[in-house]
Structure formats: structure tokens, C-alpha cells
């Protein structure tokens, strides 16, 4: 199964994609994770991407399209995948279609997770990530008394792009550049909308029904 998980920043794409990837036994490919890893390793790609990410801007299309082209060719993507955070612009969506054509594959569903902006703002400013294992926590629901990861004991931090001003910019970018992608898939009759407000396992079950 090949799925695109779509939606504004903070809607829960990362959390849900990780769960669905395990349940459906398909690989989770998140351009944000790939870029953050490159930044933390200080690679050439990371150095190019960092300033865009810190400002809440999109990394240029040619860079992220290159990443996805390479990643989709890897062996573990053959059985299917969940794309999380890609495509985020119309040129990325068009480029993805070309990659699929070359690989002789088709997307099964594009699932758009819908949540109100104020809810998202609260969620994002209280999101924390483990520097060691990448687990995502939320101060609104998770107790992190000693700022240590509940899973591995690693250091918990707040992403620079989860600070309020940057989030405002990310929403603007979403409205102007990413939202048109929804229509692109709606016209192709691939889009399904799912409510993103609910308990994590509730949202997972709605998503699973949407991709059946």
C-alpha cells in the first residue's frame, strides 16, 4: 500500500505515520526527519536545509525532490510506504508523479488530516522530541517531570521550528504553498479527509478505515 499523509504542521502526521507504518508493515518516509538527521550530522544537505527549517520556510523543491527520488528507490520502499510531509508544493506533487511513473507504481490514497488552527498552535508549542530515539511527546498529555524521555531516558528538547513565531510562519507557508496540493489530489479522486482531533488510537482507527 502506498499512502500520502497530508495536513498542516502539528496535525499528528508523524505520530500516526509511525503507528500505521508498524500496523501496515510499510516503511515511513518523512522528509522532515531525513532533513533533521542531515542537520544534526552536519552534512552538506543539512547545512543547506538548516536556515530554511529554522525560519519555518520550505526547503527548496530541488533538494527535497532529490531526497525522495533516492529514498523511494531503496529496497524497503518496494512493499509500500507512507509519505509524511511530502509533497508540500505543486511542483513536488508533479515531480512525485514522474518518479512514480518511472518506478511503475501508483499512489493508493492521500489522507488529509484536519484540525483547527488554534488546537494546532497549542499542540505544537507543547511538542517535545527525544534527541536520542526521536519519540514525540506532548506536554499537554505526557508527564515529563525530569525532562527525560520516558522510553529511552534520552534528552528531551523543543524543535526550533516549534517556537510560536516560527509556527505562525509555517501556517502561512502551509496556506499559500501546501494547501493547493490537496486540490491536486482531490481532482485525481485520491483524497480522503479524516478528523485529526481525538485520542491517538481513535485517529489511527479512522485513518485505517480511510486507507482500506
| Site string (142-171) toward ligand AMP, x via CB under 6 A | -------------------x--------x-
Catalytic residue, chosen from 109, 148, 150, 159, is 159
Strands 27-30 and 136-138, how do they pair? unpaired
Asked if residue 90 lies in contact with residue 180, where contact means CB atoms within 8 angstroms, the answer is yes
- Across the beta sheet with 191-195, what order do the strands follow? 27-30, 81-84, 2-6, 109-114, 191-195
Phi, psi dihedrals of residue 204, rounded to the nearest 5°: -60, -45
Q: What binding mask, one character per residue, do residues 96-115 give for ligand AMP by CB under 6 A, x or -?
A: --------------------
Residue 12 sits in the site that holds ligand AMP (CB under 6 A)? no
Is 127 known to be catalytic? yes
The answer to whether 169 is a known catalytic residue is: no
- The alpha carbon dihedral of 61, 207, 202, 195 has a sign of positive
User: Is there a catalytic annotation at residue 164?
Assistant: no
Q: Is-catalytic flag, 2?
A: no
Query: Would residue 128 show up in a list of annotated catalytic residues for this protein?
Result: no
Beta strand extents in 41-115 (DSSP E only) = 81-84, 109-114
Please tell me the count of residues contacting ligand AMP according to CB under 6 A.
17
**Which residues are at the interface with ligand AMP (CB under 6 A)?**
9, 31-32, 35, 52-53, 56-59, 64, 85-86, 88, 92, 161, 170
Active site residues: 13, 88, 127, 159, 170
Amino acid at each position: 500500500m502506498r499512502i500520502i499523509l497530508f495536513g498542516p504542521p502539528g496535525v499528528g502526521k508523524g505520530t500516526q505515520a509511525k503507528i500505521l507504518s508498524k500496523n501496515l508493515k510499510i516503511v515511513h518516509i518523512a522528509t522532515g526527519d531525513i532533513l533533521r538527521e542531515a542537520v544534526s550530522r552536519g552534512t552538506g544537505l543539512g547545512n543547506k536545509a538548516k536556515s530554511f527549517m529554522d525560519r519555518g520556510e520550505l526547503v527548496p523543491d530541488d533538494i527535497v525532490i532529490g531526497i525522495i527520488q533516492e529514498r523511494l528507490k531503496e529496497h524497503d520502499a518496494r512493499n509500500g510506504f507512507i509519505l509524511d510531509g511530502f509533497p508540500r508544493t505543486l511542483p513536488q506533487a508533479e515531480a512525485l508523479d514522474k518518479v512514480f511513473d518511472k518506478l511503475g507504481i501508483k499512489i493508493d490514497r492521500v489522507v488529509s488530516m484536519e484540525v483547527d488552527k488554534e488546537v494546532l498552535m497549542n499542540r505544537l508549542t507543547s511538542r517535545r522530541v527525544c534527541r536520542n530515539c526521536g519519540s514525540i511527546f506532548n506536554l499537554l498529555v505526557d508527564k515529563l517531570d525530569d525532562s527525560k524521555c520516558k522510553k529511552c531516558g534520552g534528552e528531551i528538547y523543543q524543535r526550533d521550528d516549534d517556537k510560536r513565531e516560527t509556527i505562525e510562519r509555517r501556517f502561512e507557508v502551509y496556506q499559500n504553498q501546501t494547501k493547493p496540493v490537496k486540490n491536486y489530489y482531490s481532482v485525481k479522486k485520491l483524497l480522503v479527509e479524516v478528523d485529526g482531533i481525538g485520542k491517538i488510537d481513535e485517529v489511527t482507527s479512522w485513518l485505517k478505515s480511510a486507507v482500506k
